[in-house]
Amino acid sequence: MVRLGRQDLILTIDGTEYSNQCTNVELRSQARESGTVTFGGSSATSRSYVLALTFIQQTTTASLLDLLWSSVGEQVDVAIRPAGGSTTASADNPIWTGTVVVSEPDGALVGGSASASDEFQTSVEWSFLDRPVRTVA
């Protein structure tokens, strides 16, 4: 059994790993906001899912900031898995995958408060198209 904590997640987006740029990675679930509910509605669609990220602002072309800036509105494939495990899914090493839509944050996109030691960070929440898949084998 792998216990998740502190620095134990690997994030890949469209096959590129971005873990070293992230200070927070969360797969979140919440009640879906809907206007009209019908009798034909499925309980599987009563939730929505987001990938919540906080990342260090880097100006290189291989950065999450560059991905955000150049891919707004586009769909990207994401995978989250435990660090230190295999890249192959197993019962002890599950991998969560899905497709999200890249969107800009409502808050700071570039920059932040002056500080002697902190790096500027950006926080985003990207919506999944469907419920993420948890693969164990």
What are the phi and psi torsion angles at 65 (to 5°)? -60, -40
Ordered by start, the domain boundaries in the chain are 9-32+47-135
**pLDDT (0 to 100) of residue 89:** 87
Dist CA 98 CA 50 (whole Å): 10
Per-residue pLDDT of the chain (137 residues; tens, 9 = 90+): 556 666 588 999 999 999 999 999 999 998 877 666 667 655 555 889 999 999 999 999 999 999 999 999 999 999 999 887 678 888 888 999 999 999 999 988 899 888 887 899 999 999 999 999 999 98
Structure pTM?
0.84
- Rounded Cα distance between 18 and 20, Å, is 6
